[in-house]
Amino acid sequence: MPLVRIDLAKSSSPQLRRAVSETVYEAMTQIANVPEHDKFQIVTLHDEDQLIYPAQGYLGVSYTPAIIFIHVTWVAGRSLDVKKAFYQKIADDLHAKAGVRKEDVFIVLSDTQREDWSFGGGLMQYAPK
């Protein structure tokens, strides 16, 4: 049910893009109670001047043109602790697996309701009982 928009640089390698995709999916299923195979993601590549971040950094975090924007749309209800662990795992794993600077991992979460999803076939698979 999450739909994840991943926006990153055209200069990123296909290997990195796969690592981002896999890492986000693993963090979801291992930490955020997302079911197995619930993996829907849209990757969009951008020229360097199309991913805009503050040159001076923000809140003590500094960024490079390798910044990765991860925008998760999912059903509301994850706890504060789950969200914290979710952020940390994605940054840690991307660093460990693909050498990504942790500061370049930007994540935002957008809530929806269960009824706001059709996974295909024209059905409301998560219809309330």
Residues forming a β-bridge with 43: 6
- Tell me which residue of 19, 6, 8 sits closest to 63, measured CA to CA: 8
Answer for which of 16, 19, 66, 91 binds a second copy (CB under 8 A) is 91
Rounded CA gap, 42 and 7, in Å? 8
Count residues near a second copy (CB under 8 A).
65
96 binds a second copy (CB under 8 A): no
Rounded CA gap, 91 and 121, in Å? 35
13 binds a second copy (CB under 8 A): no
127 binds a second copy (CB under 8 A): yes
Residues forming a β-bridge with 40: 3
Task: Tell me the closest approach of the beta carbon of residue 99 to a second copy, in angstroms.
Answer: 15
Answer for which of 30, 52, 77, 96 binds a second copy (CB under 8 A) is 52
Rounded CA gap, 25 and 7, in Å? 15
Judging by DSSP bridges, how do beta strands 68-75 and 3-9 pair with one another? antiparallel
92 binds a second copy (CB under 8 A): yes
| 3-class DSSP state of 68 | strand
21 binds a second copy (CB under 8 A): yes
- Tell me which residue of 46, 26, 48 sits closest to 38, measured CA to CA: 26
Mark whether 2 is an active-site residue.
yes
Answer for which of 11, 30, 96, 102 binds a second copy (CB under 8 A) is 102
Report the interface residues with a second copy, using CB under 8 A.
3, 7, 14, 17, 21, 35, 37-46, 49-54, 56-59, 61, 63, 69, 71, 73, 80, 83-84, 87-92, 102-113, 115-125, 127-128
